[in-house]
Structure 1
Amino acid sequence: MQKNRLFSLIDKAVFDYHLIERNDRILVGASGGKDSTALIEYLANRSRRPDCGFSFTALNIQTEFGGAIPESIANLFREWNVDFRVISIDVQGRLKPGKKMNCYWCSTQRRTELNSYAIQNGYNKIALGHHLDDVLETAIMNSLHKGELSTMIPSLRYEKYPVTIIRPLYYAMEKLIIEHAKERGYYGYTCTCTFQDNSTRKDARAKLSALTENNPVLKQHLFDALMNVNVSYLPKKQS
């Protein structure tokens, strides 16, 4: 596989957290956006290594609100010999009486379908395109809205289901993914859903930008702080 900075960072995350192991069957959530497409490109390249030992499928969950994956992205998947599948779901039809449609509901339903498809078809891992900026934004959201220091983790095994969530882009900043996608010619596709406004996530993104001034060094320091917690100098909750 041709080495580049993004793929090297993904390799490191995969190695550090044992994200891909022999005989894994991985289901990748494919939105058509830069993050999931970069992840699929990486897996397609990695699967051609002599010591591959795993298989993967890219699955797009299509709803009545978002458009289909652009043909240009689908053509790339074919070029990369990716097993690409599409299923359609009626998101609004699942709303309970009196509830309004929103971005969170749609996202939850698509995640539910990914989990169900993985379990029903024998996949043991689900790969998602969350990157370093997503991790920091989630830490900010959880701190401010939940009052707890927590965030996404690179590997999460469900207690109730035989599936593990993996995030191979964990070490990659969004800026690097954008640069990579532009270089590869697939940057630019965005969700066209009219319910895509996630104000809490956007607010956290703005706060992260203000806090770090979009300086990658400061973002990296903030990310490193999540893994370098000195509990001796943090207050303890009194019983």
Structure 2
Amino acid sequence: MPQPFLYNLIDKAVFDYKLIEKGDKILVGASGGKDSTALIEYFENRQKRKNADFEFLALNIQTDFGGGLPSDIQTLFKEWNVPVKSIFVDVTGRLSDGYKMSCYWCSNLRRKELINFAVKNGFNKIALGHHLDDILETLLMNALNKGELSTMTPSLKLEKYPVKIIRPLCYAGVQTIVEHSKKGGYFGWTCTCTYQDNSTRKDARRRLELLTGGDRKKKERLFKALKNIRPEYLP
């Protein structure tokens, strides 16, 4: 029986960017949503399929904006024999005086907690569930709002910490993940945050769909363009 198309895409990303290597100890951010759940499912499958010499832990960061992992996701993780741990972060309590709550602040704080946990517990890589659409949306956001050509990368060595950030879903479009998660029976759970002020990314998502017409191949070519730089034709 052929393996899922999503796994083929992740396998290619892992090979191209050396995202999973022998002896790796990987911390996987687990929100309970379709993206991180599909990634965790892949990690569990890869260990069995390739008898791979690496270990991983799914870490769920609970906040005062949302609860922990949904019960059905917890059940799936138990069925998959996935090791899971949860920690709590008081996002509102850590907001400095004079600063406004935002999705960026919450996301940044949770990322710091992932890094601190990884360093403290000897993980050398952190796997996040950002996919192809996330990467392209960030490209548009940075170009249009910051005036810079940058985005999230498949593999990033942190300067201040002995940890790499990896994004194994970098070749997978959101629709591919949606279709895969529906077959797996875990599609539909979304962030329970009551704030949800993410208008900038929503606008970038709309612009990306207008630019590509939702065509997966066009999104893939746009991603490819980031690696096919012609500096002589740039300012």
Alignment TM-score > 0.5, same fold: yes
The 1-side partners of 2:60 and 2:50 are apart by 28
Distance 2:168 2:30 in 1: 14
| 1:186-205 aligned within 5 A | 186-205=186-205
Q: Secondary structure at the match of 1:49?
A: helix
**2:110 aligned partner:** 110
Distance 1:180 1:83, change over 3 A: same
Secondary structure of 2:20's aligned partner: coil
Structure 1: runs of 5+ lacking an equivalent: none
**Paired residues for 1:161-200 under 5 Å:** 161-200=161-200
Distance in 2 (CA, whole Å) between partners of 1:90 and 1:151 is 28
The 8 Å contact of residues 23 and 55 in structure 1, kept in 2 or not, is answered as: yes
Distance in 2, matches of 1:147 and 1:93, equals 33
Gaps of 5+ in 2: none
Q: 2 CA distance for matches of 1:50 and 1:20? A: 12
Q: What does the per-residue CA deviation read over 1:166-213, in whole Å, with 9 as the maximum and x for residues that have no partner?
A: 000010000000000001100000012111221111111111011111
**In the alignment, residue 180 of structure 2 is paired with which amino acid?**
H
Q: Which residue of 2 aligns with 1:41?
A: 41
Could you tell me which residue of structure 1 aligns to residue 157 of structure 2?
157
Q: What is the CA-CA distance between 1:65 and the residue it aligns to?
A: 0.7
User: 1: CA distance between counterparts of 2:95 and 2:51?
Assistant: 45
TM-score when normalising by structure 2: 0.97
Are 1:67 and 1:191, in contact at CA under 8 Å, matched by a contact in 2? no
Match of 2:228 in 1: 228
- Which amino acid is 1:16 matched to? D
Distance 2:10 2:229 in 1: 24
TM-score, length-scaled by structure 1: 0.95
Any conservation in 1 of the 2:142–2:148 contact (CA below 8 Å)? Answer: yes
State how far apart, in whole Å, the 2-side matches of 1:184 and 1:197 are: 30
In structure 2, the CA distance between the partners of 1:99 and 1:215, relative to structure 1 (3 Å rule), is same
CA distance in 1, matches of 2:168, 2:73: 20
1:115-164 deviation per Cα after TM superposition (whole angstroms, max 9, x unaligned): 00000000000000011001111111111112111111110001110000
The 2-side partners of 1:138 and 1:101 are apart by 20
Alignment of 1:71-86 (within 5 A): 71-86=71-86
Deviation at 1:58, TM superposition (A): 0.1
In the comparison of the two structures, how many residue pairs are matched?
Answer: 235
Runs of 4+ with >6 A deviation: none
CA contact (8 A) 2:13 2:19 kept: yes
Q: Cα RMSD over matched residues?
A: 1.2
C-alpha displacement at 1:51, in angstroms?
A: 3.5
User: Could you give the per-residue CA deviations for residues 84-121 of structure 1, whole angstroms, max 9, x where no partner exists?
Assistant: 01111111110111222221111111111000000000
